Amino acid sequence: MALVTIDTTTVGEADRLDFWRDTVCDQFVALDVTPSTTGLVSGRVTAASVAGTHLRRISSVPHRFERTTRQVRAADEDYLQIALARRGRTLVVQDGREALIGPGDFVIYDSSRPFTFVTTDSFEYQVCLHPKGALPLSAAETAEITARVFDGRRGIGAMLPPLLSSLDRAIGDDLPDVAQDAVARTIGDLFVALVRSMVPASASANLHVARARAHIRAHVADRDLDPASIAAACAISVGHLHKVFAAESTTVGSVIREERLQGAWHELRRDDLAHLGIGAIGARWGMPDAAAFSRAFRARFGSAPSSHRTRTA
């Protein structure tokens, strides 16, 4: 967890702008970095990483930061990020939404889609970049949560500022790997709690969809669970079942798969189930084909089940 500090005052004036742009892209993700003031740019970044989760603090003069479609396509970064405003006001734009944050507010945003930050004055943020593949969140959940204002002084949002501040204080400690893994898991759990405090995973305005999702959750470990059995339980036709799920931009099969993979994701973290093989965990969640389970898990979370279990052991 070694702390690194990068400051524009350490380089010559003629090189500062290029140095600053390279620093921001290296420490966050590829961006267009445009200071909004004329004259000499000044900026400072402190950085540390904890088991693949990156913690940053950045301060500078007014800026426009933009991640373009081209940069998204050219990059392999895939993070869900939190930016907590400590100083200044910022307009954040992503997924067709706009959020204005000031000191004590924060937003969640996604590196896999374009976004824009525009600051109106000098600013300071604390930023946390967490790998999306390590989070049991669906694409629909992450797309729905971006560019929404969280109040860091009230409710579940109040958990974030003291956590980041405590990490600032502990960041110079020589923590063993197992402790760093635990810290990263704690941060990931907070991401999930924040997202689902605004976007319940099962939220639906359609009664049939709500009933179908409840039936899926109750019978998700049944390997024979399929659209026909779900439709029968909901007293609707299979065709209508598919229609109401399509209206919510999803499918019955993808919901079943997501519930199963999330269940397996959590059980692979449980010490009391460490004696069970990977295939046995998959079978407990209605996926008896170990190879197919491993392929689906890797496609969803970006790592094999065995790697996930090793990282969380």
Per-residue pLDDT band for 173 (boundaries 50, 70, 90) equals low
Judgement on whether residues 184 and 69 belong to the same structural domain of the protein? yes
Residue 113 sits in a domain of what CATH number?
Answer: 2.60.120.10
The more confident residue out of 169 and 184 is 184
* Residue 98 CA neighbour count, 13 Å, CB half: 4
Q: Are 258 and 170 in a shared domain?
A: no
- State mean pLDDT over 253-271: 89
Same-domain pairing of 139 and 286: no
CATH number of the domain encompassing residue 286 = 1.10.10.60
**233 shares a domain with 126:** no
Say how many domains are in the chain: 2
Last residue of a domain, one of 198, 218, 243: 198
Which of 29-33, 128-132, 298-302 bottoms out in mean pLDDT, i.e. has the lowest? 298-302
Same domain, 82 and 44: yes
Say if residue 162 is in the same domain as residue 93.
Answer: yes
Residue 116 has pLDDT above 70, yes or no: yes
Q: Are residues 102 and 226 in the same domain?
A: no
The pTM score is: 0.70
156 and 217 part of one domain = no
Do 193 and 216 lie in one domain? The reply is: no
Q: Indicate whether 23 and 62 sit together in one domain.
A: yes
Q: What does the pLDDT look like over 287-297, one tens digit per residue?
A: 999 999 999 99
Instruction: To the nearest 10°, report the CA torsion of 258, 263, 266, 270.
Output: -160
Sheet harboring 53-60: ordered strands across?
A: 4-7, 43-50, 53-60, 123-131, 79-87, 105-110, 150-151
Render pLDDT for 25-42 as a digit per residue (tens, 0 to 9).
Answer: 999 999 999 998 777 889
pLDDT at 174: 67
**Residue 161: which domain range?**
4-198
- The amino acid that residue 5 corresponds to is T
pLDDT at residue 311 greater than cutoff 70: no
pLDDT of res. 36: 87
The whole-chain average pLDDT of the chain stands at 88
Structure tokens at 176: 């063993």
pLDDT, residue 217, reads 86
Residues 184 and 228 in one domain: no
How far separated are the first and last CA of the chain, in Å rounded? Answer: 19
Give the end of a domain, one of 198, 223, 251: 198
- What value does the mean pLDDT take over residues 86-92? 95
pLDDT of residue 199: 72
* Tens of pLDDT, residues 58-80: 999 999 999 999 999 988 778 99
Give the model's confidence band at 92: pLDDT under 50 very low, under 70 low, under 90 confident, else very high: very high
**Are residues 182 and 236 both part of a single domain?**
no
Q: Which of 198, 221, 247 is the last residue of a domain?
A: 198
